[in-house]
Amino acid sequence: MGIGERIKELRKELGITQTKLANDAGLTSAAISQFEAGSRKPSFDALSKLANAFNISTDSLLGKKEETSIPKLAPEYENMIKGFVELPEEYKKEMLNYYDYIKYKMQQGK
């Protein structure tokens, strides 16, 4: 699968238009259209912007590896996860119990 097909596939999976993707990536709609049609190859800068817009790595965008890592998170969530790792085990267990409780509440609300 070529890069243009990959961009189109990811965009359709997200259910967004070329215009929305262009806005999210800081590119033009014409560029997205050309990438998807295969009439133009994205530069490294454009690939980086597209990967950020899709919230995946450039390797994943290029189809070089399966995306298995945690998706990019907002800085406050990254800090929370880093802080969690540094907690003593007893507090980690409390946090996991609270997480399970929140998941349960969400399921009950559906």
Q: What is the mean pLDDT of residues 77-86?
A: 85
| pLDDT tens-place string over residues 54-68 | 989 898 898 886 545
- Quick one: pLDDT at residue 66? 57
- Quick one: pLDDT at residue 21? 96
- Where does the pLDDT of residue 70 fall: very low under 50, low under 70, confident under 90, or very high at 90 and above? low
Can you tell me whether residue 93 is helix, strand or coil?
Answer: helix
Residue 88 structure tokens: 């003593």
For the chain, how far is it from start to end, CA to CA, in angstroms?
Answer: 39
- Quick one: pLDDT at residue 31? 97
